[in-house]
Structure 1
Amino acid sequence: MSRVEEVILAEPRGFCAGVDRAIEIVERAIAKFGAPIYVRHEIVHNTFVVNELKSKGAVFIEDLAEVPPGATLVFSAHGVSKAVQAEARARGFEIFDATCPLVTKVHVEVAKLAKEGYEFIMIGHKGHPEVEGTMGQLSGGIHLVEDVEDVARVAPSQSEKLAVVTQTTLSVDDAAEISAAVRARFPKVREPKQQDICYATQNRQDAVKLLSPQVDLVIVVGSPTSSNSNRLRELAQRLGTESYMVDSAAELRPEWFEGKSRVGLTAGASAPEVLVREVTDRIKALGAVSVRKMDGIQETLKFPLPKGLKLDDVPAPGHIS
């Protein structure tokens, strides 16, 4: 039986600027105001990150009724509806918004075009908090499509003023296929100047496209709830490379590696590098001799923190990375 000889690390992988910022907002809020800090929904979709923040004093809730009056509340990186924003203000919470700025960009576009009389087709996954947040920017007029079949069934009230928006963490290829179907059915549809799928989602998917043909197996570090992590695993599989997603090194199965000499390793945008290191160590324990990093894009983007949590406002806490 051949054994694992080499682990190839995708580049880029793991945390993106929006995730980094969201985690830092929670950590700084705890440092400034003390525990507990309430967070609506998981700040990012990663079990390790959520558990680390819980241990520091974050309390994750879905219903604002669970938050005591006068408490500090953080909105997750996925964004929230106008109704949730209004309820949070009405309840008098100190609010910090950790919505990823690239999701906020989609919200701003929806608000702007809605004023001009546009209806929207949103490409995304039903029930995902980002989709709920974006659709909740208006009281109606946003029609969700999850696949090409949905495009044939969607029924906007008019097609003269129709715009398309996209969940930021989709498969780039799937979104392109659905967008093409929308254009074919609604030739006048307005598309965003820059695609809504975020740079980090695109870069991680591009890296998997380069990685997959070089390896016998792809392991994606990510939690089951993480949309962009699921898309990475699906992409590798679609390219013909066996692929599994794990929340931690403990989920690796020795039989996956039988007869595999080269293993590719990547991580979703909400998965910290510490988990990648642990997975690498576990694969080494199964016999891998060398680890090398693929060449790839170096991401340098950093998003500013909200007012009241900037560097001079509060000492930097120990950051999850």
Structure 2
Amino acid sequence: MDKTALTVRLAAPRGSCAGVERAITIVEQALERYGAPVYVRHEIVHNAFVVDRLRSLGAVFVDELDQVPDGVPVIFSAHGVSKSVAAEAERRGLLAVDATCPLVAKVHREVERHHRAGLPVVLIGHAGHPEVEGTLGQVPEGAVRLLERPEDVDALNLPTDSAVAYATQTTLSVDEARGLVDRLSARFPRLVGPAKEDICYATSNRQQAVKAIAPTVEALRVIGAANSSNSNRLVEVAAAHGCPDARLITGADDLDFDRLDGIRTLGLTAGASAPELLVQGVLDALRSRYTVTVEEVRVAEETTIFRLPPLPEREFPAAAD
């Protein structure tokens, strides 16, 4: 029986960004230099496929430093850590390797600079996200106010003639963040922002590609993890820009073919921590059921590469059995 024709509009850019690739490479190189185990505080990036592969090579993922034994290296994830975490690693004499995305580190420096200048600082982001926790932890507790919703702006107990500084999580919806910034600016005319917006180029580009595709497809699938901020924002952006059925999937095994029955146009993208291998896996699964025509919709070229930090030369004793 002939297969049904399906046009897949494939977003570009999509998938792993330079910060994610850098963090993964840091773990791989640490494993090569020191041997297993290498400990990683939190998921190096929010993608189970990536984490499971690194775990199979000898990476051990932990929630906190008290789970890291003495005498082994520990890597801080791409989301960054608070100063207290870095200080605890130093106090214990752990060899810490910082895989924080350079664009997250930029936000850290901004928040510190504004705090040192004596400005009230607000951070637009999602409570509990590792990146937000790390950013809040760059200054004394309570020094930065977290804003998640428009009503949080209205509730700020600050004089409206104050010079107020703001920063944002790097993986937010561009449109929602802009709305909050506009609300802040209307309430605090002396608002001070970053010289270049904090939402990273990869997040912005992937959202722009989804905006271009969403009105032209009957359904759209975002490959990513449930705890990935940028992946969830892509689903929201697709729904907000005309796609009637936008959903998050982890990969080919998560494809909901019953929901896709009868459609002729499907949008496909991947969050910034999802490798291209997962995209190709989804396309292969679709080809097993449909006659697939792929139309790539490209809105930007990405050439950013982040340099790797030097790994210390120190050798580590083998872990005890």
Matched, 1:106 2:107: yes
SS of residue in 2 equivalent to 1:264: strand
Is the 8 Å Cα contact of residues 74 and 96 (structure 1) preserved in structure 2? yes
Unaligned segments of structure 1, at least 5 residues: 314-321
Q: Which amino acid aligns with 1:243?
A: A
Supply the AA of the counterpart residue of 1:55. S
Alignment coverage as a number of residue pairs: 310
TM-fit CA distance, 1:166: 0.1
Contact 2:219 2:266 in 1 (8 A): yes
Matched, 1:117 2:118: yes
Structure 1 residues 288, 245: closer, same or farther in 2, change over 3 A?
farther
1:3-35 per-position Cα deviation (integer Å, ceiling 9, x unaligned): 452112100000100000000000000000000
Task: Tell me what 2:42 maps to.
Answer: 41
Q: Using a 3 Å threshold, how does the CA distance of structure 1 residues 10 and 113 change in structure 2: closer, same or farther? A: same
Does 2:248 correspond to 1:248?
A: no
Partner of 1:289: helix, strand, or coil? strand
User: Is the alpha carbon distance of 1:74 and 1:151 closer, same or farther for their aligned partners in structure 2, counting shifts above 3 Å?
Assistant: same
1:156 CA drift (Å): 4.4
TM-score (norm 1): 0.93
Deviations 1:182-220, CA, capped at 9 Å, x for gaps: 111111111111110000000000000111122111110
1:266 pairs with 266, 269, 280, which one? 269
Aligned-CA RMSD value = 1.7
Q: Which of the residues 184, 187, 199 maps onto 2:186?
A: 184
Amino acid corresponding to residue 42 of structure 2 in structure 1: H
Identical-residue share of aligned pairs (%): 49
**Alpha carbons 2:163, 2:188 under 8 Å: kept:** no
For 1:278, the equivalent position in structure 2 comes to 281
Q: Tell me by how many angstroms 1:244 deviates.
A: 1.1
Contact persistence 1:35–1:56 (CA under 8 A): yes
Residue 91 of structure 1: how far off its partner (Å): 1.0
What residue in structure 2 maps to residue 316 of structure 1? none
CA distance in 1, matches of 2:33, 2:307: 17
Provide TM-score, normalisation by structure 2.
Answer: 0.93
Equivalent pair of 2:170/2:203 in contact (CA under 8 Å): yes
SS at match of 1:154: coil
Pairing 1:8–2:5 present: no
Give per-residue Cα distances to partners, 1:132-183, cap 9 Å, x unaligned. Answer: 0000101132000101111111224886232010000000000000111111
Query: What does 1:162-181 align with in structure 2 at a 5 Å threshold?
Result: 162-181=164-183
* SS of match in other structure, 2:290: coil
Structure 2 stretches lacking a partner, 5+ long: 315-321
Superposed CA offset, 1:27-77 (max 9, x none): 000000000000011000001000000000111111111101121010000
Question: Would you identify which runs of 4 or more consecutive aligned residues in structure 1 move more than 6 Å?
Answer: none
